[in-house]
Copies of this chain bind each other. A is one copy, B any other.
Amino acid sequence: MAQVPKEHVRRRIVAAAAHLFAARGYAATTVASVAARAGTSTGNVYKYFAGKEALFDAVLPEAFARDVRRLTHARIVALGSARDVRELPRDARYHVVAGELLERCLAERERVVILLARAEGTRFARFAEDFGRALVSWALGYARRAWPEVPRSPALGFALSAVYRGYLRSLAEALMSLPSRPRAQAAIELLTTHHQGGLAQLFASLARGPAPRELAP
């Protein structure tokens, strides 16, 4: 047998990498610093991972990004397909981030942060941007049912995408900064309330009509 159980070290390396990637970003994190934080040597990291990229893949597998996308889409569809927000189960109301998605976000904080805000230099560099755009198109579909008069414009397209990206980033940072689970969840609910209140106000002002009774997702 070897002197330390392999799996133990591997986990320590992945944890160290996740922490540092989330804290400083992929590019600014050196393999040496990961090794140091994991309590091992630079060379040894390469016993477990083929290289820095492979280490990143272990921290943030493609499947994770897929899940985030899928779960988010599912939430939007669920919220949007309800004829009226009042039909939604009480605690799901207004919340894009709820259910399984919320669980994942809380359980895998660092991954969410990296995916949404620290992926510079990786294949997910554009994820937040692309995802923001996708969210906008999903959300616009829903919004048009409530406010059919909402016009199209480049500025609006940009603003919505920025708003969604900002929302996602905020979620990521909440997960990052609030180690206690209930606090993180509370913050997410506040952020979502803000996000949706903002969208409602935005669409209402564009439609020049009165604020709708029920809010956008």
Which A residues fall within an 8 A CB radius of B? 24-25, 27-28, 75-76, 79-80, 85, 93-94, 96, 120-121, 138-139, 142-143, 146-147, 153-156, 158-160, 162-163, 165-167, 169-170, 173-174, 177-178, 183-184, 186-187, 190-191, 193-206, 211-212, 214-217
* Residues on the B chain within 8 Å of A154, using CB: 178, 183
Quick one: which of B85, B178, B184 contacts A215, CB cutoff 8 A?
Answer: B85
A216 touches B194 (CB 8 A): no
Quick one: which of B190, B202, B212 contacts A156, CB cutoff 8 A?
Answer: B190
A194 touches B199 (CB 8 A): yes
Which of A85, A94, A169, A193: most chain B CB closer than 10 A?
A193
A155 touches B183 (CB 8 A): yes
Which of A153, A160, A211: most chain B CB closer than 10 A?
A211
